[in-house]
A = this chain, B = another copy of it.
Amino acid sequence: MKPYIAYSKQELTFELENVKSLYKIYSDLRLSLDLTRGKPSPEQLDLSNDMLKLSPNETLTMDGVDVRNYGVLGGLPSTKALFASLLQVEPQNIFVGGNASLQLMYDLIAKAYTHGLANSHQPWSKEKTVKFLCPSPGYDRHFHLSLSFSMELIPIRMNADGPDIEQIREHISDPTVKGIWCVPKFSNPDGITYSTQVCEALSSLRPAADDFVLMWDNAYCVHPVYCDETIPNILELCEKNGNPDMPYMFMSTSKVTFAGNGISAVASSERNIEYLKKLTGYQTIGYSKVNEYLHVRFLKDRENVLSHMQRHADILRPKFDIVLDSLKREIEPLNIAEWRRPNGGYFVSFYAMPHTASRIVALCREVGLKLTPAGATYPYNTDPMDSNIRIAPSYPSVEELKMAMEVFCVCTRYATLEKLLDLQ
């Protein structure tokens, strides 16, 4: 094997015929494989089955509260303490939500539109234009959430140490730029952990908008696969740098216990938490305290959560190995794509030769391998280079994943060869 770039036109044509016959074999297998979403596997979910097992006559009481009844909006003291230890903030900085942190993020933005945030001069619905910074590639649901409110999305380049600070600084002098989406640790999809310098710079921004929000989606805060990485406490940094109300940190236990039945939290300044609690008081009498109870009883404390996450990592690691080994074996020698070996999180972010990602995804789909649509990781579903493909290895079995990666590599070669011949 030599790099495709060194192939003659004849060699390329011949290789494409080879690859097409391989592709035909997969096509005949009538596969049904799925690498689309960052979903835990059943084996990972099994790790938390004991959470639902109650001892006979167990009283459903915590912190002196009957968790079955109404009340206690914003979290039981024990739940706040658990999240505070995981996010390394104080319990008074925590607001506990329902089964998904996405809902907390949506509701915060929705409240910004209907009521305004603590530092807003008026609700965002009264603004002619609202713009949001989107480090890209990023999490599609963040972008779709923003778009559903008709925000204008501004892509920000992702560097190896986090979003490009210079680009961010250029935009925040515009008062209609109201915030930025960040996944600061094991980012979706690149698996990048923001450096201390980037966090320091973000916390020191001087945005023209007084109610600029740092949406700090710490989705993978306790989710190493190969080894852990650390980020600074953004609440502390922002406070130190004169932006105490700017950051909102989000996390959930969706990828700790049950994806569909976790508990979520947002951490922010006491002022923001009080304001959020007041507004949420019109929306609900309280989220599920039964679920808080089950979680706190099962997860106990930070140390126990970290060991529990090691068991997740033990299941995820062989799957990441399959993806990375396949790419190293099948693609690296051809020098036709790039990717990062993440230390944690849920994804491998693959950069195909420019203008081939959509074709790769389409080729995969035709033989029964579903991938996240090309472009999904960019605002407006538009990857300017049509290059990035997010590979989510967690859900399939090891056998399915091996087959899926074989298919993926063949389709990558297929599309690349087509493109190279096209360019000749």
Q: Which A residues are closer than 8 A to B by beta carbons?
A: 37, 39-40, 42, 45, 48-49, 52-54, 60, 66-72, 98-100, 102-103, 106-107, 110, 113-115, 123, 125-126, 141, 144-145, 148-149, 254, 258-261, 279, 282-291
A-B contact list, 19 entries, CB within 8 Å: A39-B70, A42-B69, A45-B68, A45-B69, A49-B60, A70-B254, A70-B260, A99-B287, A100-B284, A102-B284, A106-B282, A110-B283, A113-B113, A125-B125, A141-B282, A148-B279, A148-B282, A258-B290, A260-B285
Q: Are B68 and A260 in contact (CB-based, < 8 A)?
A: yes
Given A71-B260, A100-B286, A114-B114, 6 more A-B residue pairs with CB atoms under 8 Å apart are A37-B70, A40-B69, A45-B69, A53-B54, A100-B285, A260-B290
Contacts of A42 in B (CB 8 A): 66, 69
Report the bound CA distance from A321 to B6 in whole Å. Answer: 91
> In the complex, are the beta carbons of A99 and B98 less than 8 A apart?
yes
- State which of B48, B99, B282, B289 has its C-beta within 8 Å of the C-beta of A288: B99
CA separation between A289 and B100, bound complex, in Å?
A: 12
Q: What residues of B have a CB within 8 angstroms of the CB of A144 in the complex?
A: 282
B-chain residues with CB within 8 Å of residue A149 when the two chains form the complex: 114
Q: How far is the CA of A239 from the CA of B37 in the complex (A)?
A: 40
A279: chain B residues at CB < 8 Å are 148
The distance from the CB of A374 to the nearest CB of chain B, in whole angstroms, is: 21
Verify A103–B291 contact, CB threshold 8 A: no
A103 / chain B contacts, CB cutoff of 8 Å: 283-284
Chain A interface secondary structure, helix, strand, loop or mixed? loop
Chain B residues, Cβ within 8 Å of A49: 60
Interface centre among A60, A126, A144 (most CB of B within 10 A): A60
Distance from A366 Cβ to chain B, minimum over Cβ atoms (Å): 24
**How far, in angstroms, from A352 to B113 measured CA to CA in the complex?**
42
A103 to B279, CA, bound (A): 12
A262, closest chain B residue (CB): B288
Known A148-B115, A284-B102, A285-B102: A259·B291 in contact at CB below 8 Å: no
Asked if B98 and A67 sit within 8 Å, CB to CB, the answer is no
Assembled-state Cα–Cα distance A1/B288 (Å): 50
Q: Is the CB of A106 within 8 A of B284?
A: yes
Give chain B residues whose Cβ lies under 8 Å from the Cβ of A290: 52, 258, 260-261
Q: Which residues of B contact A72 (CB under 8 A)?
A: 260
Check if A260 sits within 8 Å of B69, measured CB to CB.
yes
Q: Most B CB atoms within 10 A — which of A48, A102, A259, A288?
A: A288
| B residues near A102, Cβ cutoff 8 Å | 283-285
A70 to chain B minimum Cβ distance, whole angstroms, is: 4
